[in-house]
């Protein structure tokens, strides 16, 4: 669905440009080329999902023996039932954990990043640029490189194998600070803040009632980014967690997948589990992409 939107947007671009001096034939040509390229990419991105949907609908036996891109028998409901009941519904626990880590973690990370970025953009103080540059440096450090040091740190305070071991590192988003600072600098006007102050609003109240609304597109963007980052963060849970009831869904599915040698029957659960696990991501994107696009556009127009 998100690709539909992208398609519409980019298909418009060549035809808009075509209103210039270029002739109609050229317009058709470039339009066709664009369509073909877009079509190819759409196919490229959608085929794996299609495969997953098809595989999720098959029973253990037909997964391996029938055409991987077409339905054989419709076992999806039964597979779902198996998935949710396997080992007392541990999969649902994983799904809930993922939603907690990514949803709550993403929200807290967004709030922190928003406050930091706003402070950096709107208040002048000594060392402001130094702090900002340090945060920018944080953007460049891959999360994977931090996982092991974090494990040793968390071991010192005996917080490994707890909810916090995955949650706390997730609420830090240097990129979010960067983005919200840039956005706040351009979208929250100083005059407005002065006006709020003259009306007697405290700084906190100004932030939460005025600034945060103006920054909404950037915050939504940060939230989506962070949500996806946490959802897909595999290495940190791998290192931090031992207790299955704390696993996020990505790591849980990975565990099952490595156990296939022992128990080949897990294969259909891994497939249907993977299918179910992308649903929350799709929902997050569909419901929030509106804001995301207007957010990015707002920055560029200004």
Partner 1 sequence: MKLTKPAAAAAVALLSSVALVACSSDTGTTPDNTTGTDPGATSDAPMDSGACQPAGEDVTLEFTSWIPGIEGVVDMWNADNPDIQVKVQTGPNGNGGTYKNFFNQIEAGNAPDLGQIEYDALPNFRVQGGLEDLGPCADVMAAKDKFVDWTWSQVTLGSDTSVFGIPQDSGPMAMFYRKDLFEKNNIPVPTTWAEYADAAQKVKDAGGYITNFSQSDINQFAGFVWQAGGSWFSNEGDSWDITLDSPESITVADYWQGLLDKDLVSTVPPWTDEWNNAYNSGAAWTWVSAVWGANSIASGAPDTAGNWAVAPAPQWTEGGTDAGNWGGSSIAVLKGSDHLYEAAKFALWLNTSDESLTALNEAANIYPATKDGLNLPVLKEGVDFYGGQPIYDVFAEASGQVVPDFTWGPTMTQVYGDVSDSFKNAISGSGTLSSALTDGTASTIAALEAQSIPVAGK
- Binding footprint of partner 1 on the chain (CB under 8 A): 60-61, 64-65, 68, 87, 112, 115-116, 118-120, 122-125, 131, 134-135, 137-138, 141, 145-146, 148-153, 155-156, 158, 160, 169, 172, 174, 177, 202-204, 207, 238-239, 241-244, 247, 251, 254-256, 258-259, 261-267
Tokens 């983005």 appear where? 179
List, in order, residues 6 or more apart from 246 with CB less than 8 Å away.
97, 161, 162, 163, 166, 237
Q: How far apart are CA 32 and CA 28, in angstroms?
A: 6
For partner 1, the closer CB: 4 or 243: 243
Tell me how far, at minimum, the Cβ of 113 lies from partner 1, in Å: 8
Do residues 176 and 215 touch, judged by C-beta distance below 8 A?
A: no
For partner 1, the closer CB: 2 or 144: 144
Two tokens at 221?
Answer: 């963007």
Two tokens at 35?
Answer: 């369509």
Could you give the count of Cα atoms lying within 13 Å of 201 in the half-sphere of its Cβ? 16
For partner 1, the closer CB: 14 or 105: 105
Two tokens at 101?
Answer: 């880590």
Do residues 110 and 176 touch, judged by C-beta distance below 8 A?
A: yes
Tell me how far, at minimum, the Cβ of 15 lies from partner 1, in Å: 43
SS3 (DSSP) at 233:
coil
Tell me how far, at minimum, the Cβ of 122 lies from partner 1, in Å: 8
For partner 1, the closer CB: 10 or 209: 209
Tell me how far, at minimum, the Cβ of 292 lies from partner 1, in Å: 23
Q: Count the neighbouring beta carbons within 10 Å of the beta carbon of residue 207.
A: 21
> 266 to each of 60, 151, 270, 278, how far by Cα in Å?
9, 30, 6, 19
Two tokens at 42?
Answer: 């759409």
For partner 1, the closer CB: 42 or 162: 162
Tell me how far, at minimum, the Cβ of 70 lies from partner 1, in Å: 15
Tell me how far, at minimum, the Cβ of 261 lies from partner 1, in Å: 7
Q: 254: burial class by Cβ within 10 Å (0-12, 13-18, 19+)?
A: middle
For partner 1, the closer CB: 184 or 224: 184
Tell me how far, at minimum, the Cβ of 59 lies from partner 1, in Å: 10
Residues in the chain: 302
Tell me how far, at minimum, the Cβ of 297 lies from partner 1, in Å: 27
For partner 1, the closer CB: 28 or 260: 260
For partner 1, the closer CB: 150 or 284: 150
Do residues 89 and 275 touch, judged by C-beta distance below 8 A?
A: no
Two tokens at 145?
Answer: 């490189």
């Amino acid at each position: 669905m998100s690709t539909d939107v992208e398609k519409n947007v980019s298909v418009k671009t060549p035809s808009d440009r075509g209103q210039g001096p270029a002739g109609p034939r050229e317009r058709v040509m470039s339009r066709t080329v664009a369509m073909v390229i877009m079509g190819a990419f759409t196919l490229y991105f959608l085929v794996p999902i299609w495969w997953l949907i098809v595989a999720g609908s098959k029973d253990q036996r037909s997964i391996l023996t029938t055409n991987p891109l077409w339905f054989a028998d419709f076992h999806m409901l039964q597979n779902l039932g198996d998935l949710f009941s396997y080992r007392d519904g541990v999969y649902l626990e994983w799904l809930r954990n993922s939603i907690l880590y990514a949803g709550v973690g993403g929200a807290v990370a967004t709030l922190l990043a928003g406050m930091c970025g706003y402070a950096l953009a709107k208040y002048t103080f000594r060392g402001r640029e130094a702090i900002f540059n340090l945060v920018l440096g944080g953007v460049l450090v891959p999360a994977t490189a931090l996982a092991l040091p974090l494990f040793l740190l968390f071991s010192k305070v005996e917080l490994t194998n707890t909810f916090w071991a995955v949650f706390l590192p997730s609420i830090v988003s240097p990129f979010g600070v960067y983005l919200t600072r840039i956005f706040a600098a351009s979208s929250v006007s100083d005059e407005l803040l002065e006006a709020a102050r003259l009306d007697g609003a405290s700084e906190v109240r100004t932030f939460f009632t005025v600034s945060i609304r103006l920054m909404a597109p950037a915050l939504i963007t940060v939230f989506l980014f962070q949500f996806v980052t946490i959802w897909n963060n595999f290495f940190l849970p791998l290192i931090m967690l031992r207790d299955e009831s704390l696993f996020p869904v990505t790591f849980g599915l990975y565990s099952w997948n490595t156990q296939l040698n022992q128990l080949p029957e897990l294969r259909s659960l891994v497939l249907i589990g993977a299918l179910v696990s992308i649903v929350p991501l799709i929902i997050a994107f569909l419901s929030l992409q509106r804001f995301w696009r207007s957010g990015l556009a707002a920055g560029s127009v200004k």
